Structure 1
Amino acid sequence: MIMNRRIWICISLSALFVLTGCWDRAELPEKGFVMGIAIDKTDEGKILLTTQIYRPSQGVSAIGAKAADTAYMNVTTENDTVSRAIRDIPINLGRKAQWSHIRLIIIGEKLAREQEIYDVLHFFYRDHEPRLTISLLIAKGKADQYLKIEPLIENTTSQQLFQSAQSASSSSGKAIFTDLLKLGIQLKSEVGNALVPYLYFTDDPPTVTNVAGTALIKKGKLVGRMEPKMTENLQMLLGEYQSGMIDIPCPGPTNNSKKTEVVEIIKFQGKLQPTILTEDLLKVRVRIKLELALIELACSDIMTIEDQKKFTRNVEETIKGQIEETIDWLKQKKFDAVGLGNKVYIKNPHLWKQWKPDWDDRFARAQFDIDVKVKITNSGTSIPKTAIKK
């Protein structure tokens, strides 16, 4: 027994001598970890790349010297393409850029309108370091100015904007979160339209960033912008709405016309289904179910079942009207933002081949049948359900 144990120990020790190390590894001090980038186009047609690098040294060093106040630094490079501008980063930084931790890509409006976005982002789809979960934003004006502001609560501006994009989508419905994977699927789909969150500064001081509204991408380029309010309705059409609040106008006399009541959506179900009636007529059924909590009541007293039914009907009509307004706006723009053409392709590929060349016009002629069902499940108070008299 002792002899067997000694033999196994000798074998284990011998195995250590044949293990290899990472002879070509890059040490941490040789890397600059990228948190976010901004891509712009100069007047000369070149790419202006602003790269935000995480600064690891914070607090007080071992010898008592105070470290830098910020947790990041920005490096600016300019070249003919994005990949060439990236290769110039070590010239300024003295380290190789590491892309495995990047959270955000901001594209300036000028570049987005003049050059196909997919071509701009080739490096991030082909290189092995960047991940397809990188968030994307289209910025009003130049993109680099948004990385120059100080973050409100996060360590870096890139992380701050990344969190804003996620929260705007999940908590208010005023933006549609998009990453590299989602963008690639949309651009390479049958319709080819894509939706990207829109980034801009507030007009009134103090100047802060807003991630709200949707940049509309057609044939790879920016063609327009949808307002935040309509973006909420678009999320419902897409079936992606998670949470948010909706203003409900007070019905009745004109003195109530400017008053609004507020409800919070706590549960959402939505489905959009195309129905091909003839080879020239397309009808779309939209079914939406909502569970709401009452937040603010400015002109309604819900004391009986009839009061609740009346209030529910007003909410249903309001939401239906807002969705119809959004659909009419998309029809005027001839922009299929709901991926309706992709659904037609899945349902009838042969018919889609006939419809695809003039799909924008067909989308504008499509008939939408919208049905909204609302259920009030919470009064918004400590009482778990709406207080009514039976």
Structure 2
Amino acid sequence: MIKGSQAKSIMVWLLLSAICLPLAGCWDQRELQNRHMVLAAAIDVVDGDVKESETFVEAHGGRNFRLSVQLLDIEPQEGEQGEGKERTYVISGVGRLFFEIMRDMFGQLGRPISWEHIQAIVISQAAVDYGGIDQLLDWFSRDAEMRWRIRLYITPGEAKPIIEYQPPGGEPNGLFLTGISRNYIKNPHIGSVQTELGYASGRIDNKIPIPIPKIELSGDIIKVGGIGIVKNGQVVGYLDEYETLGAKFIMGSEKSAIITTACKDHPDRVFALELYQHDTTLEPHVSGDNIYYTLDITVYGSIGEMQTCPEPNDHNLIDAEFLEKMEQQFAEEVQKTVVHAYERHQTLKVDSLGMGKKLQNKYPKKWIEIKDRWNEEVFPHVPLIVSVNVSIRHTADRK
């Protein structure tokens, strides 16, 4: 026989269970075919005529920017086992605020837009120069649907055609763009992962220069290579592929570089070393009013390719003496690359290498003295002492 207290307990548990039942599962779920997913966005400055479908009457006026988005649309197949068909297309809106432009885009669509899966944002240099990078990224940094891992690209030309590009492999453009960025591990000419939205927003908040991978559309080919440097909201210059490699060495973010050197006996023949491991130590030093850095790099790699010389027997990789000469040559090439990249940053008066952060961590009092003058006055004159050691672990000799 159930006592009164036990009956009350049972009733409470049943009531709680009944209350929890409606909360089970995804109560706010929305099927994939019932929404448009943004895969990529492009930001341009309005130049020329504006289509009627792109614009709207604004309370505070100004058709400053064009926001273009690539949408993934999934059409359901008939039958329970059928997979949905995927297609992508691009729509655009023109206005002053991206939040307002985005909401106005709903007038072009039959379903709401979802930003949770956006992969990349392509920004034209003209848009950065016109509005400043902090304004362009403000809404993307605030909106709850955005992710910090969104890839950023900057282009000297127009951004919209880049997200309209149809990849030869047939995959959606947004996935194609984020796939390119992952190739930084194998391609030393592509900026590292520290160029995503989260890193850029942090640098904006701390007033630190921002490196953004450069992307260009030439004919029917998209190419990512080099880095655009943004300081005080504006583009101050670009690093080419060679300078990008040197910058990645300084930051210790290089993963698999190809280092080349010319044969000293036959300068028209080139040898290549594939890096597969490296140790990098960058240290700031303060001596009175003098500031300098030391950079110690140890590279481990293997011979990847050798152009045949007229006397191939003179280049025997089994010979320890010749191998030591090769290691020295490759070390000189790495040092030359690093110094060139460092001097390029000094010429631009921009420290996107994180050297100021190193100084702040080790010498906080000194940093307080010079932080307001760091990029413009101090950094351009700070020496960098570079030491490189190369160890060839494998030669892949066929003999």
Deviations 1:145-204 (A, max 9, x none): 10111122252111101111121x2111212131111112222336x11111100124xx
Query: Conserved in 2, the CA contact under 8 Å of 1:113 and 1:223?
Result: no
1:49 to 67, 91, 95: 67
Matches within 5 A, 1:105-184: 105-153=121-169, 155-167=171-183, 169-176=184-191, 177=193, 178-184=195-201
- The range that moved more, 348-357 or 154-163, is 348-357
Counterparts of 2:202 and 2:65, CA distance in 1: 25
Distance 1:77 1:24, change over 3 A: farther
CA distance 1:356–1:11, shift in 2 (3 Å): closer
Letter of the 2:28 counterpart:
R
Asked if residue 344 in structure 1 is aligned to residue 359 in structure 2, the reply is: yes
Q: Aligned-residue CA RMSD in angstroms?
A: 2.8
The unaligned stretches of length 5 or more in structure 2 are: 2-6, 48-61, 310-314
Provide the C-alpha distance between the structure 2 equivalents of 1:309 and 1:161, rounded to a whole number of angstroms. 41
Which aligned pairs between 1:1-390 and structure 2 lie closer than 5 A?
Answer: 15-19=16-20, 20-21=22-23, 25=28, 27-28=30-31, 29-43=33-47, 46-57=64-75, 61=78, 71-153=87-169, 155-167=171-183, 169-176=184-191, 177=193, 178-189=195-206, 192-202=208-218, 207-252=220-265, 256-279=266-289, 281-298=290-307, 299=309, 300-359=315-374, 360-380=376-396
Q: State the shift of 1:97 in Å.
A: 1.3
* Partner AA of 2:138 in structure 1: H
SS, match of residue 71 in structure 1? strand
Cα deviation for residue 120 of structure 1 reads 1.3
Write the letter of the residue equivalent to 1:51.
V
Aligned to 2:351, the other structure's residue is in SS state coil
Give 1:11 shift: 7.8
Change in 2 beyond 3 A, CA 1:103/1:23 = closer
TM-score, with normalisation over the residues of structure 2?
0.84
2:137–2:201 CA contact under 8 A, matched in 1: no
The count of residues paired between Structure 1 and Structure 2 equals 369
Q: Separation in 1 of the partners of 2:126 and 2:235? A: 9
Cα offset, 1:95, TM superposition: 1.8
Change (3 A) 1:14 1:350: closer
Do 1:47 and 1:85's aligned partners in 2 also have CA atoms closer than 8 Å?
no
AA paired with 1:295? Answer: G
Give distance in 1, aligned partners of 2:78 and 2:273.
Answer: 52
SS for the counterpart of 2:344 is helix
In structure 2, the CA distance between the partners of 1:366 and 1:23, relative to structure 1 (3 Å rule), is closer
Cα shift readout 1:299-351 (whole Å, capped 9, x = no counterpart): 43323111111111111111111211222222222221212122222222332
CA shift in 2, pair 1:78/1:45, >3 Å:
closer
What's the % identity of the aligned pairs? 20
Q: Deviations over 1:341-385 (max 9, x none)?
A: 222222223322321232222111111110001111111357xxx
